[in-house]
Amino acid sequence: MSYFSELERAMTFLGEKEDTFFIGQALIYDGTAQYKTCLNVPRNKIIEPPIWENTQLGMSIGMALTGKTIISVFPRLNFLSCAMDQLSNHLDKISIYSNGEFKPKVIVRSSIGSVKPLNPQAQHRGDYTDGFKLFCPNMNIVRLDRTEDIFPAYEKAYLDDKPSLLIEWADKLNG
Amino acid sequence: MKTLLSKQELIDFENEIADLFNNKMIKAPIHLDQGCEEQLLEIFKEIDETDFICCSWRSHYRALLKNLSPDILKKYILEGRSISICDKEHNIFSSAIVSGNVSIGLGIAMAYKQNKEKRPDGTDKRVWCFIGEMTSCHGSFFECLTYAENFKLPITYIVEDNGKSVKTPTREVIGNNKLPFEPQLFDDDGDTLEDFENGKVIRSSSHLYWFKYSFEKWQHSGTNTRIQF
């Protein structure tokens, strides 16, 4: 059991669910560490949008408002920070401000950028887990420190009523 | 869709809410409509009951025209939720964040297209996203409008142009009297600049409607007296 294989198992599990859909950067065309973990997901269940983080997350929320469970993938937390409006002002708070009328189920997948073998420097390797928890107190936010945490965390995220942000360590994913 | 309210009934509803607010019955911001009754009544003739509408902080008229009952809407407002009216049964979503509804509406349209969602009459279900003219200058609007056009998604953005962002003249702070996606009226499709200036709904494409209107009766938030919050 490796970090990679557990992420692959989690994505395969989610990909087999009838109500799920994946949206994110480099999911159709290889370009990130997360790409290979999604190869078992049916291609017709994936959209690769332009690189526009805030719009991607807004689209994910909109799709989820129709009853789908959306897995929205952002390669690094630094990139996800560009979507902070949709993350904090919308995904985290829609169920509150709509008085429970809408509960968009979005599982946000992101990572702390790797520093080996290349160190991408300050804009690509941030661990902002605690900061995201402050901005999004109503979401499940889990940093996947241990391999054995991965599958249960995604299973819980799928079954839970609340939206989730699951944060991986890219260095562990790269092996 | 067949709307149940007339222009005067829309105006009367907002006057009643204003009275409730002035009598301190509402302990939250309210965003009252005024001046766009005829344009919205016209646009809602194209909207089906099964369609989705995405609104901003000013949504009372749109919710009423989507046949949310005035009593339920009043209840929501009394609960302090004028700023973000949401009702799942009537497919009404709102966001009080500028441009927040733009990409969310796009996502709903994406799902409608994927699921081949149909109205009862067999035509495609559609999303109708109401925004102000300042939002039309946002990067998010450029992203979503062009994506909707490129992928032929069933969504129409309606720009309600009162020329003001809160109290700030939008075109002054943008630095141009012509906003980026403002209707081009030189293509001889029957609409004139005079029509546009007089409030006619200009249908630039199936994805973009635009109308100007005058909003003078109320403050951006509240009634006649500004309350800082």
- pLDDT of amino acid B208: 97
Cβ within 8 Å, pair B86-A64: no
A143-153 residue pLDDT tens = 999 999 999 99
Tokens for B92? Answer: 């009404």
Across the A:B interface, residue pairs with CB atoms under 8 Å apart total 89
The C-alpha of A113 sits at a distance from chain B's nearest C-alpha, in angstroms, of 26
Cβ within 8 Å, pair B103-A65: no
Instruction: Give the whole-number percent of chain A exceeding pLDDT 70.
Output: 99
Using CA coordinates, name the residue in chain B closest to A23. Answer: B107
- pLDDT of amino acid B172: 96
* HEC string for chain B: CCCCCCHHHHHHHHHHHHHHHHCCCCCCCCECCCCCHHHHHHHHCCCCCCCEEEECCCCHHHHHHCCCCHHHHHHHHHCCCHHHCCECCCCEEECCCCCHHHHHHHHHHHHHHHHCCECCCCCECCEEEEEECCHHHCHHHHHHHHHHHHCCCCEEEEEEECCEECCEEHHHHHCCCCCCCCCCCCCCCCCCHHHHHCCCCEEEECCEEEEECCCCCCCCCECCCCCCC
| Distance between CA atoms of residues B125 and B177, nearest Å | 35
Cβ within 8 Å, pair B88-A85: no
pLDDT (mean) for A152-162? 97
Asked if the C-beta of B56 comes within 8 angstroms of chain A's C-beta atoms, the answer is no
Chain B residues inside the 8 Å CB shell of A99: 76, 79, 81, 86
Cβ within 8 Å, pair B88-A102: yes
Chain B residues inside the 8 Å CB shell of A105: none
| Minimum-distance CB partner of A68 among B104, B105, B111 | B111
Q: What is the ipTM of this complex?
A: 0.96
The C-alpha of B76 sits at a distance from chain A's nearest C-alpha, in angstroms, of 9
Task: Report whether B32 contacts B17 (CB < 8 A).
Answer: yes
The C-alpha of B194 sits at a distance from chain A's nearest C-alpha, in angstroms, of 35
Cβ within 8 Å, pair A98-B140: no
pLDDT (mean) for A30-50? 94
B37-68 residue pLDDT tens = 999 999 999 999 999 999 999 999 999 999 99
| Distance between CA atoms of residues B140 and B148, nearest Å | 12
- pLDDT of amino acid B187: 59
Cβ within 8 Å, pair A62-B105: yes
> Would you place residue B12 in the very low, low, confident or very high pLDDT band (cuts 50, 70, 90)?
very high
Asked if the C-beta of B61 comes within 8 angstroms of chain A's C-beta atoms, the answer is no
pLDDT (mean) for B67-72? 97
Chain A residues inside the 8 Å CB shell of B157: none
B80-114 residue pLDDT tens = 999 999 999 999 999 999 999 999 999 999 999 99
| Minimum-distance CB partner of B110 among A63, A90, A94 | A63
> Would you place residue A175 in the very low, low, confident or very high pLDDT band (cuts 50, 70, 90)?
low
Q: Could you tell me which residues come within 8 angstroms of residue B214 by beta carbon, excluding any fewer than 6 positions away?
A: B35, B162
| Minimum-distance CB partner of B144 among A55, A65, A99 | A55
pLDDT (mean) for B143-160? 98
Cβ within 8 Å, pair A99-B105: no
Query: Does A45 have pLDDT greater than 80?
Result: yes
> Would you place residue A18 in the very low, low, confident or very high pLDDT band (cuts 50, 70, 90)?
very high
Instruction: Give the whole-number percent of chain B exceeding pLDDT 90.
Output: 86
Query: Does B227 have pLDDT greater than 80?
Result: no
Query: Does A64 have pLDDT greater than 90?
Result: yes
- pLDDT of amino acid A56: 98
Chain B residues inside the 8 Å CB shell of A60: 107
Asked if the C-beta of B72 comes within 8 angstroms of chain A's C-beta atoms, the answer is no
Using CA coordinates, name the residue in chain B closest to A21. Answer: B111
Cβ within 8 Å, pair A62-B97: no
Asked if the C-beta of B70 comes within 8 angstroms of chain A's C-beta atoms, the answer is no
Cβ within 8 Å, pair B104-A55: no
Query: Does A65 have pLDDT greater than 80?
Result: yes
- pLDDT of amino acid B190: 82
The C-alpha of B137 sits at a distance from chain A's nearest C-alpha, in angstroms, of 15
B163-219 residue pLDDT tens = 999 989 999 999 999 999 999 876 566 888 899 999 999 999 999 999 999 998 888
